[in-house]
Amino acid sequence: SREERATTTMSAQFIQRIVNYVANEVLIKGLANSKTFQRFALRTDHHVQQYKKKGQEHVNEALDDLHKNATETMYRSQGEARASGYAAGGSSGGAGSRAAVPPTPPLRGFGGFISAVGKEIRKDLGLGR
């Protein structure tokens, strides 16, 4: 009946808690007092820290290289665009002697999002620049 199932469930939960408590006490205290386990834990922690450091350095180097290459490519493409524009007679007045300047950052927030979407739609439709 319903009461028997409730009693069985409660006694099963109680026995499970006792077994978990005893197992945790034996395992935790046994491992905490084991010199072999302590050495293993220290060596493992040392290796994990080394790998994390190497991984972070590798990621930082990769990001630096990516930034450097992207910046160089951007300046190179800007220079080529200016040179092709000047060669076609698109501009005069010594503007080609100016150093390339980084582009202005896009607008932030919702307004920036709407502006970017509008620019993409205009590019897709062949409108504007």
CB atoms within 10 A of CB 74: 13
Look at residue 46 in the predicted model and tell me its pLDDT: 93
pLDDT at 128: 67
The CB density around residue 7, as the number of other CB atoms within 10 Å, is 11
- Using alpha carbons only, give the angle 114, 115, 121 rounded to the nearest 5 degrees: 90
pLDDT at 11: 86
> Rounded to 5 degrees, what are φ and ψ at 94?
75, 15
Please give the single-letter amino acid code of residue 89.
G
Render each residue's pLDDT in the chain as its tens digit; 129 residues: 777 777 788 888 999 999 999 888 888 888 888 999 899 999 999 999 998 888 888 888 888 888 888 888 887 777 777 766 655 544 444 445 556 677 777 778 888 888 888 888 888 887 865
CA dist 16 → 1, 12, 24, 30 (Å): 23, 6, 12, 21
